[in-house]
Amino acid sequence: MTTERGRERARNRSRRAPAPGERRQDAERSRRLLLDAAKEEFAAKGFAGARVQDIADRAGLNKQLISYHFGGKEGLWNALTQQWLESEQALDEPEVPLDEVVERYLRAMFADPRGPRLSAWAGLTGGAPPDPDEDLTGLERRQAAGEIGADLDPAAVLLMITGATAIPLVMPQVARAICGLDPESPEFQDHYAEQLRRVVRRLS
Please write the tens of the pLDDT for every residue from 106-151: 999 999 898 888 888 888 877 778 888 888 999 999 999 999 999 9
pTM for this prediction: 0.74
Can you say whether residue 127 is alpha, beta or left, with left for phi > 0 and alpha for psi between -120 and 50 degrees?
Answer: left
Please write the tens of the pLDDT for every residue from 62-86: 999 999 999 999 999 999 888 887 8
Cβ atoms of residues 188 and 179 within 8 Å:
yes
Res 179 pLDDT > 90? yes
Percent of the chain with pLDDT over 70: 88
**Among candidates 154, 159, 128, which has minimal Cα distance to 141?**
154
